[in-house]
Amino acid sequence: MRLLYSVLFLMAPLWGNKMIGKIETPPVENLWGVDVSHHQQRIDWETVAQKNDLHFAFVKATEGSDHKDSLFCTNWDMLQQTGIRRGAYHYFRSYGCGHDQALHFLQTVELSPGDLAPVLDLETTDRMPVEIMLEEARIWLETVERSLNVRPIIYTNLHFYETYLAGVFDNYPLWIARYSENEPTLRNGNFWHFWQYSEKGCVQGISKQVDLNLFRGTPQMLDRLCWFPAETLPTPHDPETAP
């Protein structure tokens, strides 16, 4: 059964048309994706691509200043072969130097045009003072952005965002984890770009349970969160590719 049908019941509230007075508006387009690490073990990405309605996949690349996910290279290369839009994430350790962690990520991940922007997975203070965690995370974000000329995406859970991050990194695309059939609502009114709505997804080609994610928007909107080298950026006069 395709991924779309496997989550039909869970996501039903998102698909219903919204009523404004008596005028019915069409539902927003939803794109589906997963995120994986070595915990999912070896993945049959060809089966994943053929059997599931999947638009993107995030892969764990690095953690801290020296750890690399044991299956990153395999997952990264196979995703490029299958044509599934791919993204790489770094699990941030708040006790580590943000600059060193950024360099570790940049030395590990080689982006191709159209890959999703790098992701900073920020979900623990590691018992460090909050101001240190935020400053080192800022250094990571700015180092990666300067190097690649693309704004990274921040991943976190709803509680961590509301407690530590709201109002701090508001200019970055946001990926929020909240395991519920109800989409996350941020108290400050900010908008999330990705929603990780389940950690117990069943996807053909992946033997273990996997995180399921939603991007609310069109493929063209997703392009705006991707990396393109300067020489391949869409030109403003091209109506097919201009943002």
Q: Which residues are catalytic?
A: 123
Tokens of 78: 């196979």
Give residue 78's identity as a one-letter amino acid code.
M
Of all helices (H) and strands (E), which one includes residue 195? Answer: strand 194-201
Name every residue whose Cβ is closer than 8 Å to that of residue 80 and which is 6 or more positions away in sequence.
86, 112
Axis-axis angle for helices 130-148, 98-108 (nearest 10)? 40
CA angle, residues 59, 65, 67, in degrees to nearest 5? 50
- Whether the CB-CB separation of 90 and 120 falls below 8 Å is answered with yes
* Contact (Cβ atoms closer than 8 angstroms) between residue 112 and residue 141: no
**Residue 196 β-bridge partners:** 177, 213
The answer to whether 195 touches 183, Cβ cutoff 8 Å, is yes
Longest dimension (CA), the chain: 57
Q: What are phi and psi of 128, to 5 degrees?
A: -90, 155
Determine contact, residues 122/154, Cβ cutoff 8 Å.
yes
The string of DSSP codes covering 88-117 is: EEEE--TTS-HHHHHHHHHHH----TTPBP
